[in-house]
Amino acid sequence: MSEYMTKRNALLAQKVIKGLASRNMTGYYAEGREAARDLALSLIDEGATVTMGGGMSIHEIGLVEALKAGNYSFIDRDAYEDKRAAMLLAYDADVFLSSANAITDDGILVNIDGNANRVSAIAQGPRKVVFIVGMNKVCCDVDSAMKRARNVAAPANVQRFGLSTPCAKTGACMDCKSPDTICCQFLITRFSRHKDRIHVILVNEALGF
Min dist CB 172 to ligand SF4, Å, is: 8
Identify which range of 46-54, 88-96, 122-130, 177-185 contacts ligand SF4 by CB under 6 A: 177-185
- Is 53 a binding residue for ligand SF4 by CB under 6 A? The answer is no
Distance CA 17, CA 199 (A): 10
- Is 174 a binding residue for ligand SF4 by CB under 6 A? The answer is yes
Min dist CB 185 to ligand SF4, Å, is: 11
Identify which range of 7-15, 95-103, 136-144, 169-177 contacts ligand SF4 by CB under 6 A: 169-177
Identify which range of 24-32, 34-42, 135-143, 163-171 contacts ligand SF4 by CB under 6 A: 163-171
Choose between 89 and 156: whose C-beta lies nearer to ligand SF4: 156
**Beta-bridge mates of residue 51:** 96
Range 100-159, binding ligand SF4 (CB under 6 A): 150, 154-155, 158
- Is 187 a binding residue for ligand SF4 by CB under 6 A? The answer is no
The site for ligand SF4 (CB under 6 A) is made up of 150, 154-155, 158, 165-167, 173-176, 178, 181-183
